[in-house]
Chains A and B, each alone.
Chain A
Amino acid sequence: MAPDFGFWTLQTLNALQLSMLMFLLSIGLTVIFGLMHFVNLAHGALYGIGAYVAATVAGVAGYWASFILAPLAVTAVGLVLYTGLIRRMRKSGPMAQVLVTFGLIFAFLDVTRIVWGDIPLALEVPDLLSGRTSLVGVEYPTYRLFIIILGLTVLAALALILNRTQIGAMIRAGVDNDAMASCLGINVEKLFFVVFCIGCGLAGLAGAVAAPVLSVTPDMGLHILVPTLIVIVIGGLGSLKGAIWGSLIFGFVQTFGAVLAPQLSSMLIYGLLAAVLVIRPEGLFPARG
């Protein structure tokens, strides 16, 4: 039976949903890089912590409470990380910061195991978003539509902030040339701090949002790290445009790869990454030329 129009619509929606989830994760990571020039490898671990906190809070207070509290909790963790570790490493250069976050991956892996145990947890979709919605001739899970809409909302909000507000202008200036921005009187260190915490909060949000769809396991942060890195490297480090394009490319390649050529699909995305790195080493839409 040949797949019909409904089939392709569903797969497109699947791809969009995956893209939006990856976008939530990658935007925090890419802006941190753009501004601070180091890749926070612990980003995946923060996503995992967001999911765990969400699962715990939802068990007590319901989904919407966890939707608000999990990102806040992860932002708090980010705050502690920054003041305790990252700020001290600022003088040592980007390499040291990357390695510290690499150590954090290991540490967080066991911390989640100690606090929450080894057995996977789960989080239920809230009643408001359960079930399916009819649109464009197909029925699609409402919660996945919610993820798509949330991702687009965050995209719109960030675009607005970056392009239309003072702080957005400061961030863009800092990404372009932080030394110069500092000369102009912008408190770049404070900007770093704010951006880092917001980036962590977004990772926590991604975790809380993904948890009802996937399962909450200790190694979920490790599993999501490489796809997130692929997204930001293909898209181009440091820019919003790069994050959204990278996410869309990743989402569509993974989804339609699975549909059309499942045996190749695991190699496909890595092949694409290698191709981009060879042809355009800085990614498709990097922040700096």
Chain B
Amino acid sequence: MFRHTPLRYATLILLFSGAVFQAFTGDYYGLEILSEILILAILVLALDLVAGFGGMISLCHGALMGAGAYGFALLATQAGLSPAVAIIVALILVGFIGCIIGAICARSHGIYFIMATLAFGQMGYSYVFDAPGFGGDDGLTGIPRPDMSALNIDLGDSQTFALYCLAALCAAYGLVVLFLNSGVGRSLVGVMHNEVRMRALGSEVWKIKAIAFGISGMIAGVAGILLAQHSMYVSPSIMNWTVSGEALVVVILGGLGTLVGPIVGAVVFVVLKHQVSALTSYWHLVVGCLLIAVVMSGSNGIFGWVETQWTRHLKQRQSPRLAPRSEPTSHQETVKDA
């Protein structure tokens, strides 16, 4: 179940207008960064769906994104399909893979689940690295962008492409919200809170997890396809577990289980990375310390903190004489042991 509070609406509107503003006023490099942020936002949205609302912390989302990217690349270049058809086929493929992984790993929890997803992710990475025809370490070039000239849209133009990514992000966000508010989505949250009880109530837990993972995989696949179209190049390095690790960092940084938080996290992470690496080559240190600070502060990421402060502010306004004790809606309590 996902509710849109006024704060969340406000943040979404702010982010959307920021993106549009940047798309129309940004210089070439600004547009590059915008596309990068949008693609990362789609990936972390997918991860938040299973991690924040399903309690399934996954380290294979980088691989799912890569599967989408490679699927599209191979279908569009070697199988000769048109980009639009290739997108659809690739998405179905990745969704299917996501379902399978979700189903197989349904029995695992906590650290075991993380390791299982890691195993599948790395198997995918090794396969893509070694398989003939996939380009190996050198990758695949010449990946086309969809031809939308019928609609008078040229996706070769950076600005148009950024807006195309923004549209994809909005669609993905809408899909995730629809899913979370559907029956299966609510069951998913139920599974996260108490799996045994859900099973006792008659839910087929593995099916719920499989469906959630399938949808999440598909959205990660969208991010992968956009990545492939943006760089017009894919290589196995986009599928390594460290990519999944970075996605997890962004979700935590933004706010697990808030959907809006991870998008905020994506903006902060990409901008910070570019600014810091302009000054020093040691930006890993900055990101690491930032993550530690966020986790130690006890709040649920940047957006989680904002939400807590806002709720407290509202409560104080409603009943000024009863100053409530601060209790952050820490997601850590509801997520299973790691």
Contact = CB atoms under 8 A, between A and B. Distances in A.
The answer to A–B direct touch (Cβ < 8 A) is: yes
Interface of A: 33, 37-39, 85, 88-89, 92-100, 102-111, 113-114, 222, 226, 229-230, 233, 237, 263, 266-267, 270-271, 273-274, 277-278, 281-283
A273 B333 contact: no
B108 A38 contact: no
A274 B123 contact: yes
B213 interface: no
B136 to A, nearest CB: 13
A42 B245 CA distance: 13
A207 B119 CA distance: 25
Interface of B: 104-105, 107-112, 115-116, 118-120, 122-123, 126-127, 129-130, 241-242, 245, 248-249, 252, 282-285, 287-292, 295-296, 298, 330, 332-333, 335, 337-338
A281 B108 contact: yes
Nearest to B287: A106
A222 B109 CA distance: 24
A107 B292 contact: yes
Contact of B338 (A38, A103, A274, A281): A38
* SS of A interface (majority): helix
Given A233-B112, A267-B126, A278-B107, A92 B291 contact: no
A227 B231 CA distance: 32
Contact of A277 (B108, B289, B338): B108
Interface centre among B122, B249, B290 (most CB of A within 10 A): B122
23 contacts: A37-B337, A89-B296, A92-B298, A93-B333, A94-B110, A96-B295, A96-B332, A102-B291, A104-B288, A106-B284, A106-B291, A109-B288, A110-B285, A226-B122, A229-B115, A230-B115, A266-B130, A267-B126, A270-B123, A270-B126, A273-B115, A277-B105, A277-B115
Given A95-B338, A233-B111, A263-B130, A277 B292 contact: no
B116 A274 contact: yes
Contacts of A263: 130
Interface centre among A96, A97, A266, A282 (most CB of B within 10 A): A96
B284 A270 contact: no
B288 A107 contact: yes
Contacts of A111: 285
Q: Closest 8 A-B residue pairs measured CB to CB?
A: A106-B288, A107-B288, A103-B291, A110-B285, A103-B292, A273-B119, A110-B282, A98-B338
A88 B292 CA distance: 12
Contacts of A282: 112
A89 B123 contact: no
B165 to A, nearest CB: 27
A149 B223 CA distance: 50
B296 A102 contact: no
Contacts of B249: 102-103, 106
Interface centre among A94, A99, A108, A114 (most CB of B within 10 A): A99
Contacts of A229: 115, 118
